[in-house]
Amino acid sequence: MARVAIVTGGTRGIGRAICEALKADGMTVVANYAGNEEKARAFTEETGIAAYKWDVGDHQATMDGCARVMDEVGPIDVLVNNAGITRDGTLMKMSFEDWNDVVRINLGGCFNMAKACFEGMRDRKWGRIVNIGSINGQAGQYGQVNYAAAKSGIHGFTKALAQEGARFGVTVNAIAPGYIDTDMVAAVPENVLEKIVARIPVGRLGHADEIARGVSFLASEDGGFITGSTLSINGGQHMY
């Protein structure tokens, strides 16, 4: 029987690439999304991957949404916490709402989804959780105290939960992408983007499918001895 995987923020960008990679691996994949229903329908038509709508930052909505997926599709074996937003600005200009929304969705979403899925994985003695962090959670970034804090929190969350899951066959890892050619990065002003690319040793932006291949490996049977790790896929921009 095929493993069931759920990818939050799965209908576009990195999330879509992850969905397509896991489907190619033979998994039954479900995408979660919170925004545009028209784009989600187009995604499902193009990929054959079902899309379920809820806000991962809403705890009860997440518990209810995951319960529905489990009822309609099957027990969730693989969870990819990819959903994320930005509300950039310096601390002096950042509102509490800008701070709270980013932390609630980017970091709180990981807790909510894990809370919904982890127990079943533990009971079945097999599970894979892959959390999408960020180079900016590792190195920080001007104008992103909210995003950097949330993504840095994901890396700590990963290490702690990995210790809870290890003896039950549940691995928990993170991937920290660098700058990837997605819509989020396309919104960066061109002159700023040129400066960013100039700091990437390989001399280009990453591609979404390069992140997806990392997720594919960590979610596989072959990734069973890897847990509590953060895989940096950033073209050499940040090394430590």
Distance of CA 201 to the CA centre of its chain: 24
Is residue 147 part of the annotated active site? The answer reads: yes
Among 33, 147, 179, 240, which one carries the catalytic annotation? 147
Whether the pLDDT of residue 62 is over 90: the answer is: yes
Comparing CA positions, the residue from 1, 2, 14, 12 lying closest to residue 130 is 14
Residue 184 has pLDDT above 80, yes or no: no
* C-alpha separations of 78 from 8, 29, 121, 196, 197 in Å: 11, 9, 9, 33, 33
Residue 136's pLDDT band (cuts 50, 70, 90) = confident
d(CA 180, CA 88): 17
Mean pLDDT over 86-115 rounds to 96
What is the arithmetic mean of pLDDT over 162-189? 92
Q: Is the pLDDT of residue 183 over 90?
A: no
Q: pLDDT at position 176, please? A: 97
The pLDDT of residue 48 is above 90? yes
Q: How far apart are CA 238 and CA 240, in angstroms?
A: 7
Task: Report residue 185 as tokens.
Answer: 């990065």
Predicted pLDDT of residue 177: 96
pLDDT at position 45, please? 98
pLDDT of residue 150: 97
CATH class label, 4-230: alpha beta
| Band of residue 87 on the pLDDT scale cut at 50, 70, 90 | very high
Q: Domain segments of the chain: what residues?
A: 4-230
pLDDT recorded at residue 217: 98
* Res 236 pLDDT > 90: yes
Per the model's pLDDT, the better-predicted residue between 153 and 187 turns out to be: 153
